[in-house]
A and B are shown apart, each in its own frame.
Chain A
């Protein structure tokens, strides 16, 4: 990791496929996979004369995504052409957005596993279209060494949002936390499935190092080809280490593109370009400008609910849930919603609720394959159970039994307590009688205790519980045992 002397400066750019029904500029289905070249039309195949017409839902999704991060929605936006040749890009230009993106600014607040939090400003999120897919006819399916490439245009024209982050990130872990928050948020907003393995989230990272405390940026390398959160973490960490080694060895980092080699665990310099790219951006004359009125912005804003980060912060800061458990809840939106209802029904006893939700209930859900939210236990029943436990009306053993029963039958916790006679006996007189019985029946043990063998207390408590058929309040039993033994 970073030596104390060095600080890494990381900026992330990621492409996220939008979950629309149809493609960005034509009526072809936006679906992953399928037989090659079966989801194309004159528009996305760029046949001569075909013209693009933008998908209104993709634009709406962009507004949702931007507003969720507090971005500004400029009143005027447009599409531009980014000109470069590549065989899987049918028009040899990509319809994108250059100087007037749909959203500008915003902040992604994220948290790490250990509970530390950070934030990264967004430069912009803009809308563009995806390319087709090339398969390279080489031994390992990679570009190098291939004699030819095969192209499938099914993915060409799928709507893609490009999120550009400011260089606010300082470590590989932060980079992953940032991406995870983006992914959680887009999923929650319903704008993308964010499946890295299907390529619906792809990211590049600009990495540089500088002396801690310096304000100038070092020379950056752009890392590509990171296909999972794990590879993002490994690639960035490895690149930081490489740059430190270069600089400490008296060398100089050069500006270049480096590909992540998952198998070797290192980044490789990719053949530097013959000349700098000149994309010749200009406004796409096949499309008209986009105006977004304040009314539209407000309408979309009104549809937004709590973001995953806000939920996490509420769980930790307001409900006192620990970071790990809060993350578990946030990662399962249905579970979190169920949890929230149970907390509300239980008068805010979040700690007790989360213990059941991520403890016994999670185990049962896992064993049965039925998610909690789809099962028979209602949040209200759990709230009852929590109330019974915290008022010492039942003990923990009974609570376990009730959870099992609720899971298999549903219904109310109180009813089960009554039906099964599981109420805890906390009546002093009743427990005292049992304690007296137990002490009388075990003179030898009592003598051992008096002789200093205090560890027999466990045996005696167990005997009281057994005699009460598990219903005695265990702490009351212990208290009375101690009292009585001391009095002898």
Chain B
């Protein structure tokens, strides 16, 4: 397969990463070469093989429906790491409607 098969600009847009032209020039071949390595997987027979999402099989790990007051953060702590706040809120630049 060709090494430029990944549309890096499209993938970067999905990942919300601004890439410079230099980065695109470097990452393109690097990712292409990794994907070539990964292509070897196609040879592995996985017919009728179940997918492993979690290697240790546990089920139904749930919590009781109860409030845990000790985990709730004080508001100044909630906001302490915020790049920008306004009053009790986090502030962000304008949102261009594009939600799912």
Q: Using a CB–CB distance below 8 Å, which chain A residues touch chain B?
A: 20-22, 26-29, 35-43, 45, 53-59, 78, 82, 84-87, 134-136, 143-144, 146-153, 270-271, 273-275, 277-280, 283, 285, 287-291
Task: Write out the residue numbers on chain B whose beta carbons fall within 8 Å of the beta carbon of A271.
Answer: 96-98
- Chain B interface size range: 35 or more
The answer to whether B67 touches A150 (Cβ under 8 A) is no
Is chain B's binding surface mostly helix, strand, loop or mixed? loop
Within 8 A of A (CB), among B9-33: 10, 13-14, 16
Is chain A's binding surface mostly helix, strand, loop or mixed? loop
Question: Complex formed: what's the CA distance from A199 to B16 in Å?
Answer: 29
The answer to whether A27 touches B68 (Cβ under 8 A) is yes
Partner of A148, one of B60, B61, B71, B93: B93
Q: Using a CB–CB distance below 8 Å, which chain B residues touch chain A?
A: 10, 13-14, 16, 53-54, 58-69, 71-73, 75, 78-79, 86-100
Partner of B53, one of A29, A146, A148, A283: A283
Nearest neighbor of B93 in chain A, beta-carbon distance: A148
The answer to whether A146 touches B98 (Cβ under 8 A) is no
Task: Write out the residue numbers on chain B whose beta carbons fall within 8 Å of the beta carbon of A285.
Answer: 53-54
Q: A22-B65, A271-B97 are in contact. Are A37 and B71 (CB under 8 A)?
A: no
Shortest B15–chain A CB gap in Å is 9
Question: Complex formed: what's the CA distance from A63 to B66 in Å?
Answer: 19
What are 25 A-to-B residue pairs whose CB atoms are below 8 Å? A22-B65, A22-B67, A22-B68, A27-B66, A27-B67, A28-B67, A39-B72, A42-B73, A54-B61, A54-B62, A56-B63, A58-B65, A82-B100, A84-B99, A86-B99, A134-B95, A147-B93, A149-B92, A149-B94, A149-B95, A150-B90, A283-B53, A288-B58, A289-B54, A289-B60
Partner of A151, one of B60, B69, B89, B96: B89
The answer to whether A37 touches B64 (Cβ under 8 A) is no
The answer to whether A40 touches B72 (Cβ under 8 A) is yes
The answer to whether B97 touches A54 (Cβ under 8 A) is no
The answer to whether A136 touches B53 (Cβ under 8 A) is no
Nearest neighbor of B76 in chain A, beta-carbon distance: A37
Task: Write out the residue numbers on chain B whose beta carbons fall within 8 Å of the beta carbon of A135.
Answer: 89
Shortest A46–chain B CB gap in Å is 12
The answer to whether B75 touches A22 (Cβ under 8 A) is no
The answer to whether A288 touches B89 (Cβ under 8 A) is no
Question: Complex formed: what's the CA distance from A36 to B75 in Å?
Answer: 8
Task: Write out the residue numbers on chain A whose beta carbons fall within 8 Å of the beta carbon of B90.
Answer: 37, 87, 150-151, 153
Task: Write out the residue numbers on chain A whose beta carbons fall within 8 Å of the beta carbon of B73.
Answer: 40-42, 45
Task: Write out the residue numbers on chain A whose beta carbons fall within 8 Å of the beta carbon of B91.
Answer: 148-151
Task: Write out the residue numbers on chain B whose beta carbons fall within 8 Å of the beta carbon of A56.
Answer: 62-65
Partner of A270, one of B14, B61, B97: B97
